[in-house]
Structure 1
Amino acid sequence: MMDVRRLQILRAVVRSGSVTAAARALDYTPSAVSQQIAALEKETGTALLERVGRGVRPTEAGVLLSEHAELVARQLDLAQTALADLLAGRTGRLAVRYFATAGAHLVAPAVAHVRREHPGVRVELKLADVTHPLAAVRDGHADAVLVVGEERCEGVRVTPLLDDPYVVVLPPDHPAAGLDTVDLASLTDEPWIGSEWPGPCLDAQLTAFAAAGLRPDFVVDSEDYTTAQGFVAAGLGIALIPRLGLGTPRPDITVRPLTGPPPTRRICVGIREGARTTPALRTLLHALGRAAEPRREP
């Protein structure tokens, strides 16, 4: 492979017509220029310059390589410009994975902020894999992923954003609907509407039930917060739903906080450990923190 620096030296000699003028333009000594040209001729196996009076002129091979050196110089300029744009956050790609209930309240405002600050960066948004959400970041398929829980994954740094508390969702005519707060332990023998997939969200609920001495009777398994609210509104049972999962509560249900420290699910963001954060990724992380701030529990 030919040395790019030597090609640029040849280009300077051909454009100036002399080794001395090229050395002056490049801030080299004439001897150094001559040595580099000789090395390039050895690499290519052919003469590239021939003497004419006190100057030099390119051979046919020298003209050919000089023209290609011009193309290489242009490509290097383009590469440097593209790299500068990337490092400054003017271009690039930002891949984000998230789970559904974090989308509207955390991801949407954060990504909107990124697009305002870095309009040339293409943002790719996809739902995270349910079983192994951090793998996308670990394997380089995503730059950031929102997850529930502080699960560890080699090569991924997980940072908490907020604790999302669960509230109890009741039919309006339920005896506890008139209370300011509801003691979970008082809900013995209630029919429950399941709202969670197996995983850290369901684990948070089950831990809270166990701490309250309850063995919940799940009469409906919905695995969806909106559907769970519908079953509650129909009077089929009550449910625990995280605040972010409520969205805009239905008018035909009653939402009450729980007495004492409520069960919570911890929402975190994961990025590659030790990876250089781009300007767009730094903006995203800052914006996620700002979006989470008003939703953090005192």
Structure 2
Amino acid sequence: MLDMRRMQILRAVVTSGSVTAAARNLGYTPSAVSQQMAALEREAGIALLYRTGRGVRPTDAGRLLTEYATVIGRHAAEAETALAELRAGRTGRVSMRYFTTAGAPLVAPAVAALRREQPGVQVELRLFELDDPVLEVKARRADLALVVGERDRVTVDGIRFVRLLDDRYRAVLPLGHRLAARPVLELGDLAAEPWVAGETPGPCLDPVLDACAAAGFTPDFVVESGDYATAQGFVAAGLGVSLVPELGLAAGHRPDVVVREVRNPEPVRAIQAAVRAGASPLQPALRGLLVALRAAAASATGAAAAASATGAGAEAEAVPGPDVVGSAPPDGAA
């Protein structure tokens, strides 16, 4: 195996034309340079230099190794520069898995901000299809996954959960519903209503079921929609009421439904970023993405609160009260 450091010394000797000049340029003694050249010749198994008076000239083998040493030196310098860029977070690659409702309000602004701050970082985005996207992080197929989980979990099975935001659920009612004039609803007020499920059983539905259980009832799901936009359509058609998280309403809601706060209790789901735990610090690109996600989460929380405060008042004025003819829902509908 050829020693790369000795090849660079050979290049210095050939370039300067003598062992003495190369030693002076490198800060070595001439005898040290000569010893390194002798060792390199033993490794190569062929003579690399021959003397010409006070100087040296390369043999064909020496010229060949000098050319390769030049290329290696250039690549090594490029590698050092690239590594410095990577350490500084100016380059790199990070892979993220996300779920649908986090896409527009969280992922899009976070990636846009990361590109502005670290334009050399490449981000791979995939909408996950697995029940548990944390498996992708464990298997190192992804660096980060956005998940919904328990609010107090920190590290589980080698995965660290970074809390981004608490996503509060809002009641979605048909326009003209008997409860639509109220700006805030008691969750128990919806106990006798038919319900539209905006999600399949799992971590997104669990906060709704837990809150309803705490309020003393089990929701009667008459429709399973599978997504929040479709759920709004079923609600608008008068098939039932629904609870939708604020991120699910981030793109706005239909004009033929009303959105109200709920309390006692208020269902909340915790949105977290799952990353691999360990003693070593996060790579700069991943750390930058986490910072951007936290900023996007803060903005999304503020926007949702403002929209809820302004929207509730405007809708309350537009929605007829329960004493107005036609405000009551038809039989079998909410």
Q: Shorter-chain-normalised TM-score: which range?
A: over 0.9
Shift in CA distance, 147/159, structure 1 to aligned 2, threshold 3 Å: same
- The alpha carbon displacement at 1:102 in A equals 0.9
- Runs of 5+ unmatched residues, structure 2: 306-334
* 3-state secondary structure, aligned to 1:10: helix
Which residues of 2 match residues 45-84 of structure 1 at below 5 A? 45-84=45-84
CA deviations over 1:251-282 (Å, ceiling 9, x no partner): 11111111234111100012222354343322
The answer to whether 1:204 aligns with 2:207 is yes
Report if aligned partners of 1:138, 1:153 keep a CA contact under 8 Å in 2.
no
The alignment of Structure 1 onto Structure 2 pairs a total of residues equal to 298
Report if aligned partners of 2:187, 2:265 keep a CA contact under 8 Å in 1.
no
Q: CA RMSD in A?
A: 1.8
Instruction: State the AA in 1 paired with 2:16.
Output: S
Give the whole-Å Cα distance in 2 for the aligned partners of 1:159 and 1:91: 23
Residue matched to 2:277: 273
* 3-state secondary structure, aligned to 1:207: helix
Report if aligned partners of 1:193, 1:238 keep a CA contact under 8 Å in 2.
yes
The answer to whether 1:255 aligns with 2:259 is yes
CA deviations over 1:111-147 (Å, ceiling 9, x no partner): 1101111222222111124312112222222222211
Give the whole-Å Cα distance in 1 for the aligned partners of 2:189 and 2:117: 50
Give the whole-Å Cα distance in 1 for the aligned partners of 2:168 and 2:245: 5
Give the whole-Å Cα distance in 1 for the aligned partners of 2:246 and 2:17: 76
Which residues of 2 match residues 138-149 of structure 1 at below 5 A? 138-149=138-149
- The alpha carbon displacement at 1:153 in A equals 4.6
Alignment equivalent of 2:289, drawn from 280, 284, 296: 284
Instruction: State the AA in 1 paired with 2:270.
Output: R
Alignment equivalent of 2:220, drawn from 217, 221, 224: 217
CA deviations over 1:14-53 (Å, ceiling 9, x no partner): 1112111111111111111111111111111112122222
Give the whole-Å Cα distance in 2 for the aligned partners of 1:113 and 1:190: 43
Structure 1 outlier segments of 4+, above 6 Å: none
The answer to whether 1:232 aligns with 2:239 is no
Give the whole-Å Cα distance in 1 for the aligned partners of 2:218 and 2:136: 36
Report if aligned partners of 1:166, 1:263 keep a CA contact under 8 Å in 2.
yes
Give the whole-Å Cα distance in 2 for the aligned partners of 1:206 and 1:127: 25
Give the whole-Å Cα distance in 1 for the aligned partners of 2:136 and 2:193: 40
CA deviations over 1:203-235 (Å, ceiling 9, x no partner): 111111111111221110111101111111001
Residue matched to 1:186: 189
Residue matched to 1:12: 12
Report if aligned partners of 1:134, 1:153 keep a CA contact under 8 Å in 2.
no
Bigger drift between 127-136 and 220-229 goes to 127-136
Give the whole-Å Cα distance in 2 for the aligned partners of 1:208 and 1:284: 33
How many percent identity over aligned positions? 58
* 3-state secondary structure, aligned to 2:270: strand
- The alpha carbon displacement at 1:284 in A equals 1.9
TM-score between the two structures when normalised by the length of structure 2: 0.84
- Runs of 5+ unmatched residues, structure 1: none
Give the whole-Å Cα distance in 2 for the aligned partners of 1:149 and 1:67: 58
